[in-house]
Amino acid sequence: MVGRALAGWEAEKQLHSGFRSSKPDSPGYTEEQHAEVARFRAELLELSITVSTHPFWEQVEQGQVVDARMRLKHQHEAPEAT
């Protein structure tokens, strides 16, 4: 096991109910899972740098950069119905 295994827990019984919320023990990460997460994080960092330093941003009016980045961030979302 590479990733830290976390102990499970069980909460106190809820008022007016016999329900007890709980979580089982976490098995942690395997070597393969740890390597995959590290690879994803490295790729995310590389892509973030590529997008944020792209020459396109030099063409955007100084006061409009944040708005332009937010529009890009939400571009995949369906447009609102008017």
Q: What is the pLDDT of residue 81?
A: 67
Write out the chain's pLDDT in tens, 82 residues. 567 788 999 999 888 888 889 999 988 889 999 999 999 999 999 999 999 999 999 999 999 999 998 998 898 898 776 6
Whole-prediction pTM value? 0.58
Contact 2, 37 (CB under 8 A): no
Cα–Cα distance measured from residue 18 to residue 79, given in angstroms and rounded to the nearest whole number: 45
